[in-house]
Amino acid sequence: MPLIIRSRADDDLDALVSVLAESHRTDRYPLMGEHVRAAWLIEKGSPAWVAELDGVVVGHAAVAGNPTEPLELTRLVVSSAARGHGVAAALLDVVERHAASAGSSLFLEVLEHNSAAMRLYERRGWLAASSAEVDWFGPDGPRPVMRRYVKP
Ligand SMILES: CC(C)(COP(=O)(O)OP(=O)(O)OC[C@H]1O[C@@H](n2cnc3c(N)ncnc32)[C@H](O)[C@@H]1OP(=O)(O)O)[C@@H](O)C(=O)NCCC(=O)NCCS
Q: Which residue has the higher pLDDT, 44 or 19?
A: 19
For residues 88 and 57, the answer to whether their CB atoms sit within 8 Å is no
Q: At what angle do helices 87-102 and 115-123 cross, to 10 degrees?
A: 50
Pocket test for ligand 1, best of 35, 36, 78 (most atoms within 8 A of CB): 78
The bridge status of strand 3-7 relative to strand 127-133 is unpaired
> For residues 41 and 14, what is the distance between their CA atoms, to the nearest angstrom?
11
* pTM of this structure: 0.95
pLDDT tens sequence across 4-26: 999 999 999 999 999 999 999 99
Looking from the CA of residue 109, the nearest atom of ligand 1 is: 48
Q: Write the CB contacts of 123 (distance below 8 Å, at least 6 apart in sequence).
A: none
- Residue 1, pLDDT score: 60
What domains does the chain contain, in order, with CATH numbers?
3-151 (3.40.630.30)
1 forms bridges with which residues in the sheet? none
